[in-house]
Amino acid sequence: MTETNAFNNDEKSKRSRRHSSRRHSSSSTISSGSKSGRRQRAHKRCSISAFIGQLFFNFISKIIRLVFQLIYGVKGETMPAITDPILLESATSLARKIRKQELTSVQVVEAFICRIKEVNPKLNCCVDNRFDDALKDAAEADKLIKSGTHTEEELEKTKPYLGVPISTKDCIAVKGLLHTAGLYARKDVHATEDATAMALMRQAGAIPFALTNISEVCMWWESNNVVHGRTSNAYDSNRIVGGSSGGEGCIQSAAASPFGLGSDIGGSIRMPAFFNGIFGHKPSKLIVSNKGQFPMPFSDEQNSFLGIGPMSRFAEDLKPMLRIIAGEKAKELRLDEPVDLQKVRFFYQESDGGGRLVSPVDADLLAGMQRTVQHLRQKVKPVSVEKVQLEQFRQSTIIWFANMKDDSGYTFAHQLGDLKVSINPYVELVKWIFGASKHTFIGLLTAIMDKTQVQYGSSKYKHMVQKRDELRAEMQELLGEDGVLLYPTHPTVAPYHNEPIFRPINFSYTGIVNVLGFPATAVPLGQLGSEGVPLGLQVIANFNNDRLCLAVAEELERAFGGWARPEVKV
Protein backbone atom coordinates (compact mmCIF):
# COMPACT_ATOMS: atom_id res chain seq x y z
CA MET A 1 0.00 0.00 0.00
CA THR A 2 2.79 2.39 0.87
CA GLU A 3 4.67 1.48 -2.32
CA THR A 4 1.48 1.94 -4.38
CA ASN A 5 0.84 5.34 -2.84
CA ALA A 6 4.43 6.32 -3.39
CA PHE A 7 4.20 5.22 -7.00
CA ASN A 8 0.94 7.15 -7.53
CA ASN A 9 2.34 10.22 -5.87
CA ASP A 10 5.45 10.04 -8.06
CA GLU A 11 3.32 9.76 -11.23
CA LYS A 12 1.22 12.76 -10.15
CA SER A 13 4.41 14.73 -9.52
CA LYS A 14 5.77 13.87 -12.99
CA ARG A 15 2.49 14.81 -14.68
CA SER A 16 2.46 18.07 -12.74
CA ARG A 17 6.03 18.86 -13.83
CA ARG A 18 5.24 18.02 -17.48
CA HIS A 19 2.13 20.16 -17.39
CA SER A 20 4.07 23.03 -15.81
CA SER A 21 6.83 22.60 -18.41
CA ARG A 22 4.28 22.72 -21.26
CA ARG A 23 2.70 25.85 -19.78
CA HIS A 24 6.14 27.48 -19.44
CA SER A 25 7.15 26.45 -22.97
CA SER A 26 3.87 27.72 -24.35
CA SER A 27 4.26 30.96 -22.43
CA SER A 28 7.85 31.38 -23.74
CA THR A 29 6.73 30.70 -27.31
CA ILE A 30 3.93 33.25 -27.03
CA SER A 31 6.34 35.76 -25.46
CA SER A 32 8.95 35.15 -28.17
CA GLY A 33 6.33 35.33 -30.91
CA SER A 34 4.97 38.49 -29.38
CA LYS A 35 8.41 40.13 -29.39
CA SER A 36 9.05 38.99 -32.96
CA GLY A 37 5.68 40.32 -34.02
CA ARG A 38 6.37 43.65 -32.35
CA ARG A 39 9.73 43.88 -34.16
CA GLN A 40 8.10 43.06 -37.48
CA ARG A 41 5.37 45.64 -36.91
CA ALA A 42 7.95 48.24 -35.87
CA HIS A 43 10.05 47.46 -38.97
CA LYS A 44 6.94 47.72 -41.15
CA ARG A 45 6.05 51.09 -39.59
CA CYS A 46 9.63 52.32 -40.21
CA SER A 47 9.49 51.12 -43.81
CA ILE A 48 6.17 52.85 -44.38
CA SER A 49 7.47 56.00 -42.72
CA ALA A 50 10.63 55.93 -44.88
CA PHE A 51 8.54 55.37 -48.01
CA ILE A 52 6.26 58.29 -47.20
CA GLY A 53 9.29 60.43 -46.33
CA GLN A 54 10.92 59.63 -49.66
CA LEU A 55 7.73 60.45 -51.56
CA PHE A 56 7.54 63.77 -49.76
CA PHE A 57 11.22 64.48 -50.51
CA ASN A 58 10.71 63.69 -54.21
CA PHE A 59 7.63 65.92 -54.35
CA ILE A 60 9.40 68.83 -52.64
CA SER A 61 12.42 68.36 -54.95
CA LYS A 62 10.17 68.76 -57.99
CA ILE A 63 8.61 71.90 -56.53
CA ILE A 64 12.06 73.31 -55.80
CA ARG A 65 13.19 72.51 -59.36
CA LEU A 66 10.18 74.44 -60.73
CA VAL A 67 11.02 77.38 -58.47
CA PHE A 68 14.61 77.44 -59.72
CA GLN A 69 13.43 77.24 -63.32
CA LEU A 70 11.22 80.26 -62.68
CA ILE A 71 14.11 82.14 -61.06
CA TYR A 72 16.72 81.37 -63.70
CA GLY A 73 14.61 80.90 -66.81
CA VAL A 74 15.20 78.09 -69.26
CA LYS A 75 18.80 78.70 -70.40
CA GLY A 76 21.83 80.78 -69.50
CA GLU A 77 24.32 82.75 -71.55
CA THR A 78 25.91 81.81 -74.85
CA MET A 79 29.53 80.68 -74.86
CA PRO A 80 31.87 82.13 -77.49
CA ALA A 81 32.37 79.73 -80.41
CA ILE A 82 35.60 77.74 -80.58
CA THR A 83 37.38 79.13 -83.64
CA ASP A 84 40.99 78.04 -83.10
CA PRO A 85 41.51 74.39 -84.18
CA ILE A 86 44.32 74.04 -81.62
CA LEU A 87 41.64 74.09 -78.92
CA LEU A 88 40.01 70.99 -80.38
CA GLU A 89 43.05 68.75 -80.03
CA SER A 90 43.69 66.30 -77.19
CA ALA A 91 46.72 66.94 -74.99
CA THR A 92 48.31 63.79 -76.42
CA SER A 93 47.80 65.01 -79.97
CA LEU A 94 49.18 68.47 -79.14
CA ALA A 95 52.29 66.92 -77.58
CA ARG A 96 52.85 64.84 -80.71
CA LYS A 97 52.52 67.85 -83.01
CA ILE A 98 54.83 69.93 -80.83
CA ARG A 99 57.49 67.18 -80.95
CA LYS A 100 57.11 66.96 -84.74
CA GLN A 101 57.36 70.77 -84.94
CA GLU A 102 53.96 70.96 -86.66
CA LEU A 103 53.00 73.35 -83.86
CA THR A 104 55.12 75.30 -81.40
CA SER A 105 54.53 75.17 -77.67
CA VAL A 106 54.23 78.97 -77.69
CA GLN A 107 51.39 78.75 -80.22
CA VAL A 108 49.57 76.20 -78.10
CA VAL A 109 50.00 78.04 -74.80
CA GLU A 110 48.92 81.33 -76.40
CA ALA A 111 45.80 79.70 -77.85
CA PHE A 112 44.63 78.45 -74.45
CA ILE A 113 45.49 81.73 -72.71
CA CYS A 114 43.35 83.57 -75.26
CA ARG A 115 40.49 81.13 -74.70
CA ILE A 116 40.64 81.61 -70.92
CA LYS A 117 40.47 85.38 -71.35
CA GLU A 118 37.51 84.90 -73.67
CA VAL A 119 35.36 82.63 -71.46
CA ASN A 120 36.45 83.43 -67.91
CA PRO A 121 34.37 86.63 -67.54
CA LYS A 122 31.26 84.47 -68.07
CA LEU A 123 32.35 81.31 -66.25
CA ASN A 124 34.81 82.32 -63.50
CA CYS A 125 36.67 79.02 -63.76
CA CYS A 126 40.27 80.35 -63.65
CA VAL A 127 41.24 82.01 -60.35
CA ASP A 128 45.00 82.45 -60.76
CA ASN A 129 47.55 82.03 -63.52
CA ARG A 130 51.19 82.12 -64.53
CA PHE A 131 50.66 83.11 -68.15
CA ASP A 132 53.91 85.06 -68.57
CA ASP A 133 56.03 82.33 -66.99
CA ALA A 134 54.18 79.67 -68.98
CA LEU A 135 55.05 81.43 -72.23
CA LYS A 136 58.70 81.51 -71.15
CA ASP A 137 58.54 77.78 -70.37
CA ALA A 138 56.95 77.21 -73.78
CA ALA A 139 59.77 79.08 -75.52
CA GLU A 140 62.29 76.89 -73.67
CA ALA A 141 60.43 73.76 -74.78
CA ASP A 142 60.51 74.91 -78.39
CA LYS A 143 64.20 75.69 -78.08
CA LEU A 144 64.91 72.19 -76.73
CA ILE A 145 63.02 70.55 -79.60
CA LYS A 146 64.71 72.66 -82.27
CA SER A 147 68.16 71.98 -80.81
CA GLY A 148 67.98 68.39 -81.99
CA THR A 149 69.80 67.15 -78.89
CA HIS A 150 67.03 64.59 -78.39
CA THR A 151 65.25 62.54 -80.99
CA GLU A 152 61.49 62.65 -81.30
CA GLU A 153 61.31 59.14 -79.83
CA GLU A 154 63.49 60.10 -76.86
CA LEU A 155 61.30 63.10 -76.10
CA GLU A 156 58.17 60.99 -76.31
CA LYS A 157 59.63 58.58 -73.77
CA THR A 158 61.17 61.05 -71.31
CA LYS A 159 58.90 64.10 -71.72
CA PRO A 160 55.66 62.83 -73.28
CA TYR A 161 53.81 66.12 -72.69
CA LEU A 162 56.61 68.54 -73.51
CA GLY A 163 55.21 72.00 -74.19
CA VAL A 164 51.55 71.25 -73.38
CA PRO A 165 49.83 73.58 -70.86
CA ILE A 166 48.12 72.02 -67.85
CA SER A 167 45.72 73.37 -65.22
CA THR A 168 44.70 72.23 -61.76
CA LYS A 169 42.45 73.16 -58.86
CA ASP A 170 43.19 75.59 -56.02
CA CYS A 171 44.00 72.91 -53.46
CA ILE A 172 46.77 71.16 -55.40
CA ALA A 173 49.97 73.15 -54.97
CA VAL A 174 51.58 74.85 -57.97
CA LYS A 175 54.71 76.77 -57.03
CA GLY A 176 54.05 80.50 -56.99
CA LEU A 177 50.27 80.27 -57.42
CA LEU A 178 47.53 80.71 -54.83
CA HIS A 179 46.94 77.78 -52.49
CA THR A 180 43.77 78.85 -50.67
CA ALA A 181 41.43 75.81 -50.79
CA GLY A 182 38.71 78.44 -51.03
CA LEU A 183 39.31 79.62 -47.45
CA TYR A 184 39.28 83.33 -46.69
CA ALA A 185 41.92 82.78 -44.00
CA ARG A 186 44.25 81.53 -46.76
CA LYS A 187 43.40 84.14 -49.40
CA ASP A 188 47.01 85.35 -49.53
CA VAL A 189 48.73 81.97 -49.24
CA HIS A 190 50.90 80.95 -52.21
CA ALA A 191 52.42 77.52 -52.77
CA THR A 192 56.18 77.33 -52.24
CA GLU A 193 56.56 74.09 -54.20
CA ASP A 194 54.57 71.84 -56.52
CA ALA A 195 52.40 69.03 -55.24
CA THR A 196 54.00 65.66 -56.05
CA ALA A 197 51.54 64.91 -58.86
CA MET A 198 52.07 68.31 -60.48
CA ALA A 199 55.84 67.98 -60.10
CA LEU A 200 55.67 64.67 -62.00
CA MET A 201 53.61 66.28 -64.77
CA ARG A 202 56.11 69.12 -64.97
CA GLN A 203 58.95 66.59 -65.25
CA ALA A 204 57.02 65.03 -68.12
CA GLY A 205 57.17 68.37 -69.93
CA ALA A 206 53.74 69.78 -69.10
CA ILE A 207 53.57 73.52 -68.37
CA PRO A 208 51.35 74.63 -65.45
CA PHE A 209 49.53 77.77 -66.55
CA ALA A 210 46.16 78.10 -64.78
CA LEU A 211 44.58 77.48 -61.37
CA THR A 212 40.87 76.70 -61.14
CA ASN A 213 38.03 77.26 -58.69
CA ILE A 214 36.79 74.88 -55.98
CA SER A 215 34.30 74.68 -53.13
CA GLU A 216 35.23 75.88 -49.64
CA VAL A 217 37.77 73.41 -48.20
CA CYS A 218 36.86 71.08 -51.09
CA MET A 219 33.91 69.60 -49.21
CA TRP A 220 30.85 70.51 -51.26
CA TRP A 221 29.66 69.69 -54.73
CA GLU A 222 29.19 73.22 -56.03
CA SER A 223 32.33 75.30 -56.67
CA ASN A 224 31.69 78.51 -54.77
CA ASN A 225 33.63 80.28 -52.00
CA VAL A 226 34.16 83.77 -50.58
CA VAL A 227 37.67 84.05 -52.02
CA HIS A 228 36.93 83.47 -55.71
CA GLY A 229 33.14 83.45 -56.01
CA ARG A 230 31.00 81.02 -58.01
CA THR A 231 31.80 79.11 -61.22
CA SER A 232 29.15 78.62 -63.93
CA ASN A 233 28.56 75.77 -66.37
CA ALA A 234 29.63 76.31 -70.00
CA TYR A 235 26.49 74.53 -71.28
CA ASP A 236 24.14 76.57 -69.13
CA SER A 237 25.53 79.39 -67.01
CA ASN A 238 22.59 79.01 -64.62
CA ARG A 239 23.84 75.55 -63.65
CA ILE A 240 26.57 74.31 -61.36
CA VAL A 241 29.91 72.83 -62.42
CA GLY A 242 30.13 70.45 -59.48
CA GLY A 243 32.81 70.31 -56.85
CA SER A 244 35.27 70.37 -55.62
CA SER A 245 37.15 70.14 -58.95
CA GLY A 246 34.38 72.17 -60.56
CA GLY A 247 36.53 74.95 -61.99
CA GLU A 248 38.76 72.28 -63.52
CA GLY A 249 35.85 70.51 -65.16
CA CYS A 250 34.56 73.84 -66.45
CA ILE A 251 37.83 75.15 -67.91
CA GLN A 252 38.27 71.97 -69.93
CA SER A 253 34.65 71.78 -71.00
CA ALA A 254 34.97 75.32 -72.38
CA ALA A 255 38.12 74.25 -74.30
CA ALA A 256 40.25 76.64 -72.24
CA SER A 257 42.71 73.98 -71.04
CA PRO A 258 43.82 70.78 -72.77
CA PHE A 259 43.97 68.69 -69.59
CA GLY A 260 44.34 68.97 -65.83
CA LEU A 261 44.53 67.39 -62.40
CA GLY A 262 41.65 67.02 -59.98
CA SER A 263 41.24 65.31 -56.62
CA ASP A 264 38.41 63.13 -55.38
CA ILE A 265 37.30 62.08 -51.88
CA GLY A 266 33.56 61.93 -52.44
CA GLY A 267 33.25 62.37 -56.19
CA SER A 268 35.21 65.61 -56.63
CA ILE A 269 36.65 64.51 -59.98
CA ARG A 270 33.74 62.46 -61.28
CA MET A 271 30.83 64.81 -60.50
CA PRO A 272 32.49 67.84 -62.17
CA ALA A 273 33.53 65.64 -65.10
CA PHE A 274 29.92 64.47 -65.43
CA PHE A 275 28.32 67.93 -65.08
CA ASN A 276 30.79 69.41 -67.57
CA GLY A 277 30.73 66.59 -70.11
CA ILE A 278 34.39 65.53 -69.89
CA PHE A 279 36.35 62.47 -68.74
CA GLY A 280 37.67 62.16 -65.20
CA HIS A 281 39.36 59.25 -63.45
CA LYS A 282 39.63 58.49 -59.73
CA PRO A 283 42.54 56.05 -59.41
CA SER A 284 42.69 52.96 -57.22
CA LYS A 285 43.42 53.78 -53.60
CA LEU A 286 46.96 54.75 -52.59
CA ILE A 287 48.30 54.78 -56.16
CA VAL A 288 48.82 58.53 -56.62
CA SER A 289 50.52 60.61 -53.92
CA ASN A 290 48.31 63.19 -52.20
CA LYS A 291 51.28 65.22 -50.98
CA GLY A 292 50.86 68.91 -51.68
CA GLN A 293 47.10 69.16 -51.20
CA PHE A 294 45.27 71.27 -48.66
CA PRO A 295 43.57 70.10 -46.60
CA MET A 296 45.42 66.82 -46.25
CA PRO A 297 43.73 63.68 -44.87
CA PHE A 298 43.96 63.20 -41.10
CA SER A 299 44.31 59.41 -41.16
CA ASP A 300 45.61 56.59 -43.32
CA GLU A 301 42.00 55.58 -43.97
CA GLN A 302 41.10 59.04 -45.27
CA ASN A 303 44.26 59.08 -47.35
CA SER A 304 43.08 55.89 -49.06
CA PHE A 305 39.74 57.53 -49.88
CA LEU A 306 41.33 60.62 -51.46
CA GLY A 307 42.89 60.42 -54.89
CA ILE A 308 44.44 62.84 -57.37
CA GLY A 309 43.52 61.93 -60.92
CA PRO A 310 43.46 63.08 -64.56
CA MET A 311 40.70 65.13 -66.19
CA SER A 312 40.39 65.75 -69.93
CA ARG A 313 37.92 66.19 -72.79
CA PHE A 314 39.52 63.20 -74.49
CA ALA A 315 39.75 59.65 -73.15
CA GLU A 316 43.13 59.01 -74.76
CA ASP A 317 44.77 61.47 -72.33
CA LEU A 318 43.78 59.61 -69.17
CA LYS A 319 46.06 56.58 -69.32
CA PRO A 320 49.35 58.41 -70.10
CA MET A 321 48.54 61.01 -67.43
CA LEU A 322 47.82 58.30 -64.87
CA ARG A 323 51.07 56.53 -65.76
CA ILE A 324 52.96 59.75 -65.02
CA ILE A 325 51.31 60.81 -61.75
CA ALA A 326 51.38 57.26 -60.35
CA GLY A 327 55.16 57.40 -60.43
CA GLU A 328 56.80 54.19 -59.22
CA LYS A 329 53.40 52.66 -58.44
CA ALA A 330 52.34 52.76 -62.09
CA LYS A 331 53.65 49.21 -62.53
CA GLU A 332 50.99 47.99 -60.09
CA LEU A 333 48.32 49.09 -62.58
CA ARG A 334 49.71 47.15 -65.56
CA LEU A 335 48.59 49.96 -67.84
CA ASP A 336 50.46 48.58 -70.84
CA GLU A 337 48.57 45.30 -70.77
CA PRO A 338 46.12 45.27 -73.71
CA VAL A 339 42.42 45.05 -72.83
CA ASP A 340 40.15 42.91 -75.00
CA LEU A 341 36.67 44.20 -74.22
CA GLN A 342 35.11 41.04 -75.61
CA LYS A 343 36.68 39.20 -72.68
CA VAL A 344 35.42 41.69 -70.10
CA ARG A 345 32.34 40.92 -68.02
CA PHE A 346 30.02 43.93 -67.85
CA PHE A 347 27.59 44.58 -65.00
CA TYR A 348 25.27 47.55 -64.72
CA GLN A 349 23.06 48.99 -62.01
CA GLU A 350 20.57 51.73 -62.84
CA SER A 351 20.12 53.24 -59.37
CA ASP A 352 21.12 52.88 -55.73
CA GLY A 353 17.84 51.08 -55.08
CA GLY A 354 16.19 53.93 -53.20
CA GLY A 355 18.67 55.59 -50.88
CA ARG A 356 17.07 57.80 -48.25
CA LEU A 357 16.74 61.46 -49.34
CA VAL A 358 18.53 60.68 -52.61
CA SER A 359 16.88 61.85 -55.83
CA PRO A 360 15.49 59.29 -58.30
CA VAL A 361 17.65 58.83 -61.41
CA ASP A 362 16.66 61.13 -64.29
CA ALA A 363 14.93 59.52 -67.26
CA ASP A 364 17.62 60.90 -69.59
CA LEU A 365 20.33 59.14 -67.58
CA LEU A 366 18.43 55.85 -67.52
CA ALA A 367 18.04 56.11 -71.29
CA GLY A 368 21.78 56.79 -71.60
CA MET A 369 22.53 53.69 -69.56
CA GLN A 370 20.27 51.62 -71.82
CA ARG A 371 21.94 52.96 -74.97
CA THR A 372 25.29 51.97 -73.50
CA VAL A 373 24.09 48.47 -72.63
CA GLN A 374 22.61 48.06 -76.11
CA HIS A 375 25.87 49.17 -77.74
CA LEU A 376 27.87 46.71 -75.67
CA ARG A 377 25.58 43.81 -76.49
CA GLN A 378 25.26 44.55 -80.20
CA LYS A 379 28.68 45.97 -81.11
CA VAL A 380 31.25 44.93 -78.50
CA LYS A 381 29.69 41.52 -77.76
CA PRO A 382 31.56 40.81 -74.51
CA VAL A 383 31.41 37.70 -72.35
CA SER A 384 28.33 39.04 -70.57
CA VAL A 385 26.28 42.19 -69.91
CA GLU A 386 24.32 41.58 -66.74
CA LYS A 387 22.01 43.79 -64.70
CA VAL A 388 22.68 43.66 -60.95
CA GLN A 389 21.32 45.27 -57.80
CA LEU A 390 23.83 45.70 -54.99
CA GLU A 391 21.50 46.31 -52.05
CA GLN A 392 24.15 47.95 -49.86
CA PHE A 393 24.29 50.91 -52.26
CA ARG A 394 21.08 52.09 -50.59
CA GLN A 395 23.17 52.91 -47.52
CA SER A 396 25.93 54.70 -49.44
CA THR A 397 25.44 58.00 -47.61
CA ILE A 398 25.70 56.75 -44.04
CA ILE A 399 28.55 54.39 -44.97
CA TRP A 400 30.50 57.32 -46.47
CA PHE A 401 29.88 59.68 -43.54
CA ALA A 402 30.79 57.06 -40.94
CA ASN A 403 33.97 55.96 -42.68
CA MET A 404 35.14 59.56 -43.08
CA LYS A 405 35.41 59.88 -39.28
CA ASP A 406 38.83 59.67 -37.62
CA ASP A 407 40.43 59.99 -34.19
CA SER A 408 42.58 63.06 -34.96
CA GLY A 409 40.41 65.43 -32.93
CA TYR A 410 40.01 67.75 -35.93
CA THR A 411 36.48 68.55 -37.06
CA PHE A 412 35.17 70.38 -40.11
CA ALA A 413 35.03 73.49 -37.90
CA HIS A 414 38.83 73.16 -37.53
CA GLN A 415 39.21 72.94 -41.31
CA LEU A 416 37.20 76.14 -41.71
CA GLY A 417 39.62 77.66 -39.20
CA ASP A 418 42.62 76.71 -41.38
CA LEU A 419 43.47 73.98 -38.83
CA LYS A 420 44.61 76.71 -36.44
CA VAL A 421 41.34 77.29 -34.59
CA SER A 422 37.92 75.72 -34.46
CA ILE A 423 35.36 78.27 -35.61
CA ASN A 424 31.98 78.59 -33.91
CA PRO A 425 29.61 77.74 -36.77
CA TYR A 426 26.56 79.07 -34.91
CA VAL A 427 28.10 82.50 -34.40
CA GLU A 428 29.33 82.50 -37.98
CA LEU A 429 25.87 81.55 -39.21
CA VAL A 430 24.38 84.60 -37.47
CA LYS A 431 27.11 86.71 -39.05
CA TRP A 432 26.36 85.15 -42.43
CA ILE A 433 22.74 86.28 -42.21
CA PHE A 434 23.99 89.86 -41.96
CA GLY A 435 26.64 89.40 -44.64
CA ALA A 436 29.51 89.55 -42.16
CA SER A 437 30.85 85.97 -42.26
CA LYS A 438 33.88 84.95 -44.28
CA HIS A 439 32.45 81.49 -44.87
CA THR A 440 29.82 80.02 -47.17
CA PHE A 441 26.41 79.03 -45.86
CA ILE A 442 26.94 75.40 -46.86
CA GLY A 443 30.35 75.35 -45.18
CA LEU A 444 28.81 76.48 -41.89
CA LEU A 445 25.92 74.04 -42.25
CA THR A 446 28.40 71.22 -42.87
CA ALA A 447 30.33 72.17 -39.71
CA ILE A 448 27.11 72.03 -37.68
CA MET A 449 26.01 68.72 -39.19
CA ASP A 450 29.49 67.25 -38.66
CA LYS A 451 28.87 67.22 -34.91
CA THR A 452 25.60 65.31 -35.28
CA GLN A 453 26.98 62.54 -37.52
CA VAL A 454 28.21 59.10 -36.49
CA GLN A 455 31.18 59.49 -34.15
CA TYR A 456 34.46 57.65 -34.51
CA GLY A 457 34.65 54.46 -32.44
CA SER A 458 30.93 54.29 -31.67
CA SER A 459 28.96 51.09 -32.19
CA LYS A 460 27.24 52.64 -35.21
CA TYR A 461 30.62 53.63 -36.64
CA LYS A 462 31.88 50.06 -36.28
CA HIS A 463 28.69 48.74 -37.82
CA MET A 464 29.09 50.99 -40.88
CA VAL A 465 32.75 50.05 -41.28
CA GLN A 466 31.61 46.43 -41.31
CA LYS A 467 28.96 47.30 -43.92
CA ARG A 468 31.66 48.88 -46.06
CA ASP A 469 33.86 45.83 -45.76
CA GLU A 470 30.97 43.53 -46.67
CA LEU A 471 30.12 45.61 -49.75
CA ARG A 472 33.78 45.76 -50.75
CA ALA A 473 34.07 41.96 -50.53
CA GLU A 474 30.82 41.50 -52.46
CA MET A 475 32.04 43.77 -55.27
CA GLN A 476 35.48 42.18 -55.37
CA GLU A 477 33.86 38.79 -55.82
CA LEU A 478 31.50 40.16 -58.47
CA LEU A 479 34.11 42.02 -60.52
CA GLY A 480 37.09 39.71 -60.16
CA GLU A 481 39.97 40.60 -62.47
CA ASP A 482 37.89 40.94 -65.63
CA GLY A 483 34.71 42.78 -64.63
CA VAL A 484 33.44 46.36 -64.63
CA LEU A 485 30.30 47.94 -63.19
CA LEU A 486 28.43 50.69 -65.02
CA TYR A 487 26.67 52.94 -62.50
CA PRO A 488 25.20 56.47 -62.62
CA THR A 489 27.73 59.15 -61.71
CA HIS A 490 24.90 61.18 -60.22
CA PRO A 491 21.12 60.74 -60.08
CA THR A 492 20.39 64.01 -61.91
CA VAL A 493 21.98 66.17 -64.58
CA ALA A 494 23.70 69.40 -63.51
CA PRO A 495 21.37 71.26 -61.09
CA TYR A 496 20.85 75.02 -60.92
CA HIS A 497 23.07 77.17 -58.70
CA ASN A 498 22.28 76.60 -55.00
CA GLU A 499 19.90 73.72 -55.79
CA PRO A 500 22.29 71.14 -54.23
CA ILE A 501 21.44 72.63 -50.81
CA PHE A 502 18.05 70.96 -51.21
CA ARG A 503 19.53 67.69 -52.54
CA PRO A 504 22.69 67.43 -50.43
CA ILE A 505 22.94 63.64 -50.32
CA ASN A 506 23.01 63.03 -54.08
CA PHE A 507 26.81 62.82 -54.01
CA SER A 508 26.41 59.32 -52.53
CA TYR A 509 26.58 57.77 -56.02
CA THR A 510 30.25 58.73 -56.21
CA GLY A 511 31.15 58.89 -52.52
CA ILE A 512 30.60 55.20 -51.91
CA VAL A 513 33.34 54.33 -54.43
CA ASN A 514 35.88 56.40 -52.46
CA VAL A 515 35.43 54.53 -49.20
CA LEU A 516 35.57 51.23 -51.08
CA GLY A 517 38.84 52.29 -52.72
CA PHE A 518 38.01 51.14 -56.26
CA PRO A 519 39.03 52.98 -59.44
CA ALA A 520 36.25 54.75 -61.34
CA THR A 521 36.04 56.78 -64.54
CA ALA A 522 33.37 59.36 -65.37
CA VAL A 523 32.42 59.02 -69.04
CA PRO A 524 30.37 61.54 -71.06
CA LEU A 525 27.86 60.04 -73.48
CA GLY A 526 28.20 62.54 -76.31
CA GLN A 527 24.79 64.02 -76.94
CA LEU A 528 23.25 66.47 -74.50
CA GLY A 529 20.08 65.61 -72.61
CA SER A 530 16.65 67.18 -72.85
CA GLU A 531 17.76 70.00 -70.52
CA GLY A 532 20.70 70.89 -72.77
CA VAL A 533 23.41 69.65 -70.41
CA PRO A 534 25.71 66.59 -70.56
CA LEU A 535 24.77 62.99 -69.81
CA GLY A 536 27.14 60.30 -68.60
CA LEU A 537 27.91 57.40 -66.30
CA GLN A 538 30.83 56.00 -64.30
CA VAL A 539 32.77 52.80 -64.88
CA ILE A 540 34.02 50.99 -61.75
CA ALA A 541 36.56 48.15 -61.57
CA ASN A 542 38.37 46.11 -58.94
CA PHE A 543 41.55 47.34 -57.22
CA ASN A 544 44.35 48.26 -59.62
CA ASN A 545 42.24 47.39 -62.66
CA ASP A 546 42.13 51.03 -63.73
CA ARG A 547 43.05 49.99 -67.26
CA LEU A 548 39.65 48.30 -67.62
CA CYS A 549 37.85 51.55 -66.73
CA LEU A 550 39.99 53.50 -69.18
CA ALA A 551 39.50 50.98 -72.00
CA VAL A 552 35.73 51.15 -71.57
CA ALA A 553 35.91 54.96 -71.55
CA GLU A 554 37.75 54.94 -74.88
CA GLU A 555 35.21 52.53 -76.38
CA LEU A 556 32.23 54.64 -75.26
CA GLU A 557 33.91 57.76 -76.63
CA ARG A 558 34.20 56.07 -80.03
CA ALA A 559 30.57 54.96 -79.83
CA PHE A 560 28.90 58.14 -78.58
CA GLY A 561 31.34 60.98 -79.27
CA GLY A 562 32.51 61.90 -75.75
CA TRP A 563 32.75 65.64 -75.13
CA ALA A 564 30.23 67.85 -76.96
CA ARG A 565 31.14 71.44 -77.85
CA PRO A 566 29.19 73.98 -75.71
CA GLU A 567 28.80 76.57 -78.45
CA VAL A 568 25.07 76.96 -78.78
CA LYS A 569 22.85 79.15 -76.62
CA VAL A 570 23.13 77.63 -73.19
Give the type of residue at 339.
V
Q: What is the spatial distance between Cα 97 and Cα 114, in angstroms, rounded to a whole number?
A: 20
Contacts from 297-302 at CB under 8 Å and sequence distance 24+? 297/265, 298/406, 298/408, 298/410, 299/406, 299/407, 299/408, 301/403, 301/406, 302/265, 302/404, 302/406
| Helix ranges (DSSP H) in 168-285 | 196-203, 246-253, 270-275
On whether the CB atoms of residues 252 and 312 are closer than 8 A, the answer is yes
Cα–Cα distance, 532 to 277 (Å, whole number): 11
The kind and range of the H/E element at 385 are strand 384-387
Report the candidate in 295, 505, 284 with the shortest Cα–Cα distance to residue 399: 505
From the list 61, 167, 244, 245, the catalytic residue is: 244
Cβ-based neighbours of 40, under 8 Å, separated by 6 or more? none
Q: Which of 337, 342, 345 is nearest to 483 (CA)?
A: 345
d(CA 550, CA 538): 11
Q: Which listed residue (268, 284, 351, 508) is catalytic?
A: 268
Pair type for strands 259-264 and 165-169? parallel
Is residue 169 annotated as part of the catalytic site, yes or no?
Answer: yes
Q: How far apart are the first and last CA of the chain?
A: 109
* 268 is an active site residue: yes
Q: Which residue in 97, 159, 169, 285 is the catalytic one?
A: 169
> Would you name the residues annotated as active-site residues?
169, 244, 268
